[in-house]
Amino acid sequence: MSKNDSRLLQFCRYYNGESECPFRDNDKKMFWFYEKDWLQTLESGQTGFFEQMVNEYLAVGLKDFRFDDDTPVTLKALLFNRYCKSTGLPMIENVKPFQTFYTEKYYA
């Protein structure tokens, strides 16, 4: 694991650098996978990958959502994007349900 991994790992709640997911719970598995993907994407220098996701996240009014919880906006935007994809509903309709999901499942 590189020095950058160590710096980014501090923002992960589920992924701790393992090569295999240690969780059995489906939500935790999902969070582990997305955090791993987020970290590896940033590690590879593909920061532009998150640009559209962040723009969409901000456009639906989530700029100040849990702004003080130390989760980077790129990770929150990825989680929001994946949440929206799973529901098939327009992003704006997912704002409140995502906030509940994030608070009760991800950040619980």
CA 88 → CA 6, 77, 91, distances in Å? 35, 16, 9
- Cα–Cα distance for residue pair 103/107, rounded to 1 Å: 5
Smallest CA-to-CA distance from 107 within 74, 51, 81, 68 is with: 68
Q: Helix %, strand %, coil % for the chain, to 5?
A: 65, 0, 35
Q: Domain tally for the chain?
A: 1
Across the chain, what does the average pLDDT equal?
Answer: 94
Query: Per-residue confidence at 1, pLDDT binned at 50, 70, 90?
Result: very low
Instruction: Please give the residue range of the domain that contains residue 23.
Output: 3-106
pLDDT tens per residue across span 64-78: 999 999 999 999 999
Question: Is pLDDT larger for residue 72 or for residue 1?
Answer: 72
pTM recorded for the entire structure: 0.92
pLDDT tens per residue across span 31-68: 999 999 999 999 999 989 999 999 999 999 999 999 99
